[in-house]
Chains A and B, each alone.
Chain A
Amino acid sequence: MKLPKLRELLEAVNSLVHRPYTSRFPFEPHTPYPSFRGQPKYDPDRCLGCLACEEVCPTEAIAHRDLTDDGTPRRVMIHYTDTCIFCGSCEAACIADHQGIRLSADWELSFFDRAKESFETIDKELAICEICGSVIACRDHLRWIAERLGELAFSSPTLYQTRLRELGIIDPILLEAARSFGREDRMKILCARCRRQTTLTTAAWPQGQEAGQGLT
């Protein structure tokens, strides 16, 4: 009976002279360990807007919205911090060397207004089909594919035109040849549907005609 009491007394004295174990949080900032998984953050320069992260996200915390009506067409990548479970699937799936979206050390994510503060966004410039105006992909994404494919990219005008226009190289002979056959649409940046139709049809399309009209 005596011994346990002594031990408890020792612990009590120990606790009296020592500081509380808990941290003085609001007054002292909390620094998590280096491997801590915090809020995922987009890197606007490295992100390609490929939507791989949206595809794998188990909680649908990542969404996107394509704005094509006003100004430069752009894709808004949205990350909902309140739905996110910090699992890191987005980082693992990121095609840009896992750098487009990365887990940060941010853990303090409280906010007052859910409608306004519960998400973070970045804008990515979109490539738009030059015939039908539908969304192809983000410009960075097309460029990334063209770079990865190397010379193979020249099998797709959409890819090499994106690349060439980026570099400011426009081949007038090529364009003129296409135009003289009435097929300058072949040299445009097109969505997959319009690409298929311009490739498959043999009809010469006057300028300004909608793709697919000659197909029926």
Chain B
Amino acid sequence: MPKSVISIGPYHPLQEEPEHFQLTVEGEKVVDIEVSVGYNHRGIEKLSERRSFDQATFVIERICGICSTSHPFAYTQAVEDIIPVEVPERAKYIRTIIAEGERIHSHLLWFGLAGHFLGYNTVYMWMWRLREEILDVMEILSGNRQNYAMFKPGGVRRDIKPEDIPLAIKKIDSILPTVDRLKKAILDDPVLHARLKGIGTLTKEEAIAYCALGPTSRASGVARDVRKDAPYGAYDRLDWNMIVTANGDVWDKAVVRLLELYESIKIMKHCLLNLPGGEIDLNLKSIPPGEGIGAHEAPRGETFHYVRSDGTNRPARHKVRAPTFMNLPTLKATVPGSSIADAAIILAAIDPCYCCTERMAVRSADGRKLYSGEELLRLSREKTSRIQKELGKR
């Protein structure tokens, strides 16, 4: 059978972000995939080297719109690693609260998008409505729905007021029944079982070989989580479980995220109820020469920052490694062998975040046949309805 090449990108039609996949297909079947990243140079690292250590936090925060706390979390830890210094206990708890709130809304967002890709727009609407509640909690606690501006080297910028906590807890509790319903709806649905199980499987060996991170690796049975492996913030003081499943297919990745929602809600509530008193900021005056690293378990995996200081008030070098940079190559193992209709959800299953990753280099694209967003969506939804019909006949 003749092979043909399908280009998706350099602008992802579904996720509306720059990347480029080239699927080599034989008929309906994908036999190879080529992943190209680096279409969007944003100059964030250079920009942060032109700001003071304190001001750079705001640039770092804007690397990504969804994980807007992950990057400052890793960055502030890297700066604190230069000195080195321990932040106050209360600041650690506040940081943990914000980070977990972000994980909840990021996973909800992924569920919404996954539902959208599969033609389950009900899930899409449910999840994004739930996400609003969490964004409200973030607004109550930090003053904004996104870009919380809470982190600074040496502590946090603003305190969580005791009078805000009851309302935040109430809002977090209010999403639990719907998350329960979603859990049942997903776990019971035979169509989703048929659609997601066994596709895009990443074996444990492959996950280790590709250095997969976050839910992508945990779904494949690799127990890899910075929060457990090298505890930071308040994670070593809390009781929570790392969710690990064995199969590594898209279904397992969804289950890992679903169960992580519960863990994050648990951690967030516990921290809010047991917030220790004391200072929230060390008021660092200067950063000595040296270098430091910081890592944070973002919703998509480990975010890693390296900062070098030359004794001035600006970072001399700042390097960012986003989790998607490690997770994207796993597509090389998961996509070949699947059909084009499955490709859309497999590509989305690693929860790719291109704005984190795409900061590095510029490449030119050679124009080939492009699949439009509608076409991919149509293929994916047609398969879902096909399965629905087949199951209905039985």
Chain A residues within 8 Å of B, Cβ to Cβ: 1, 3-4, 7-8, 11, 21, 32-33, 35-37, 56, 58-59, 85-89, 92, 103
Contacts and interface: CB of A to CB of B under 8 A. Distances in A.
Nearest to B55: A58
Nearest to A35: B143
A186 B140 CA distance: 55
B142 A35 contact: yes
Contact of A8 (B58, B149, B185): B185
A154 to B, nearest CB: 30
B147 interface: yes
B188 A8 contact: no
Interface string B108-146: 000000000000001000100100100010011111100
B157 interface: yes
A203 to B, nearest CB: 42
B185 A86 contact: no
Given A11-B122, A21-B129, A32-B139, A58 B164 contact: no
Contacts of A37: 143-144, 149
B315 to A, nearest CB: 14
B285 interface: no
Given A4-B188, A88-B149, 16 more contacts: A3-B188, A4-B185, A7-B181, A7-B185, A11-B126, A21-B132, A32-B139, A33-B136, A35-B139, A35-B142, A35-B161, A37-B149, A58-B57, A58-B59, A92-B157, A103-B143
B129 A35 contact: no
Contacts of B188: 3-4
Interface residues of B, number: 31
Interface in B27-65: 51, 54-59
A32 to B, nearest CB: 7
Interface string B73-110: 00000000000000000000000000000000000000
A95 to B, nearest CB: 15
Given A58-B51, A58-B55, A58-B58, A88 B181 contact: no
A56 B54 contact: yes
B387 to A, nearest CB: 12
B158 interface: yes
Interface of B: 51, 54-59, 122, 126, 129, 132, 136, 139-144, 147, 149, 157-158, 161, 164, 181, 184-185, 188-190, 391
A207 to B, nearest CB: 46
B312 to A, nearest CB: 16
24 contacts: A1-B190, A1-B391, A3-B188, A11-B122, A21-B129, A35-B139, A35-B140, A35-B141, A35-B164, A37-B143, A37-B144, A56-B54, A58-B56, A58-B57, A58-B58, A58-B59, A59-B58, A86-B143, A86-B144, A87-B149, A88-B143, A88-B149, A89-B55, A92-B157
A33 B139 contact: yes
A25 to B, nearest CB: 13
Nearest to A85: B58
A143 to B, nearest CB: 27
Nearest to B158: A88
Contacts of B181: 7, 11
Contacts of A58: 51, 55-59
Nearest to B126: A11
A126 B327 CA distance: 58
B145 to A, nearest CB: 9
Nearest to A3: B188
Nearest to A15: B125
Nearest to A87: B149
Contacts of B141: 35
A86 B157 CA distance: 13
Contact of B144 (A4, A11, A36, A92): A36
